[in-house]
Structure 1
Amino acid sequence: MALTTLIELLERLDEVHIQMLDLAATKKQAIMENKVEVLIDILNRESKTMKLVGQLEEQRTQAAYAFLQGVGIRSNLNLNLTELSRLVFDPEDKSRLLQIQKKLSGTLHHLKEANELNQKLIEQSLTFIDYSLDLLVGRPNQEMTYHHPSDKGSNVYRSGLFDARG
């Protein structure tokens, strides 16, 4: 009974992570097309989905503890799925548990890759925006007024790409 609940929660977690993967693909497109409104909407949906993931994770932890107590282990061990599968003796249940573990692991791996790609795209977009602003406005260290060439002490140079002084 507790194992069935645990497997169902793992399947639900996989479904939610697949939704996050779909959101990541939509986010990638929004970043590439520079659609800020769509990006904000996606971020709000991601936030709601992450809250759901947190709730499911909490339920999964409780189901794992219930399973451990069902097999006679009274301590609250924080075992991973491979370790839990060693305590399952029914071959069919063990197979289901290991199958969902493999599926969830693959989904999480794809989600991690998608998030890393989106992060790189955002960094490139910010770099491009900064470069474009520099082309339009000019570098802050380029003075608009005349200074004698020997007077080099008054120049202000930027320390990096983004100027936090506002």
Structure 2
Amino acid sequence: MGLTALIEFLERLDETHLQMLDLAAAKKQAIMDNKVEGLIEILNQESKLVKLVGQLEEQRTQATYAFLQEVGIRSNLNLTLTELSRLVFDPEDKAKLLHIQDQLAHTLDRLKKANELNQRLIEQSLAFIDYSLDLLVGRPNQDITYQHPANRDNAARRPGFFDARG
């Protein structure tokens, strides 16, 4: 298994995260266009990719331990890629490992920023919906109680968007 397998799993993790980045862009557009069905489909695809990332992470961990055993370390240390690269003596292999580390870190940073933007867009959408509902049905702080129609003129009226007396 070893270093070659580890690098392959890291490359697959990067590819999967790039797919998630594409989904984040599609999610942003679905949020902006208020396409709920499209958003649900994107979330389902995203869920499958999250499961795949979990599986790849497990395989990456196994490949890391196999590599450690190949270099004579019997303990299951939890080393960073930078620490692992110090155990790689072949310059070409070390360069590959450090390159995929940088690439994956960059992809993860882009994905994090895209997800943060989508979170803000969702919060803004929810705030707008809440504001719109307040305009249509009135302020939520008002007491909603039954009043006899004859006493209606004396009571404070609930402001609303529509005037039913038309």
Aligned with 1:25: secondary structure?
helix
Mapped to 2, the partners of 1:103 and 1:54 lie a distance apart of 19
Question: What does residue 114 of structure 1 align with?
Answer: 114
What does the per-residue CA deviation read over 1:11-50, in whole Å, with 9 as the maximum and x for residues that have no partner? 0000000000000000000000000000000000000000
RMSD value over aligned CA atoms? 1.5
1:98 and 2:98 matched? yes
CA distance in 2, matches of 1:25, 1:16: 14
1:56 aligns with 2:70: no
Within 5 Å, give how 1:1-166 maps onto structure 2.
Answer: 2-143=2-143, 145=147
Higher helix share: 2
Structure 2 counterpart of 1:27, one-letter code: K
Query: Which structure has the larger Rg over C-alpha atoms?
Result: 2
Separation in 2, partners of 1:143, 1:54:
50
Aligned partner of residue 78 in structure 1, secondary structure: coil
Partner of residue 164, structure 2: none
Unaligned runs of 5+ in 1: 150-166
Count of equivalent residues? 149
Q: TM-score, normalised by structure 1?
A: 0.86
Distance in 1, Cα, partners of 2:155 & 2:121: 43
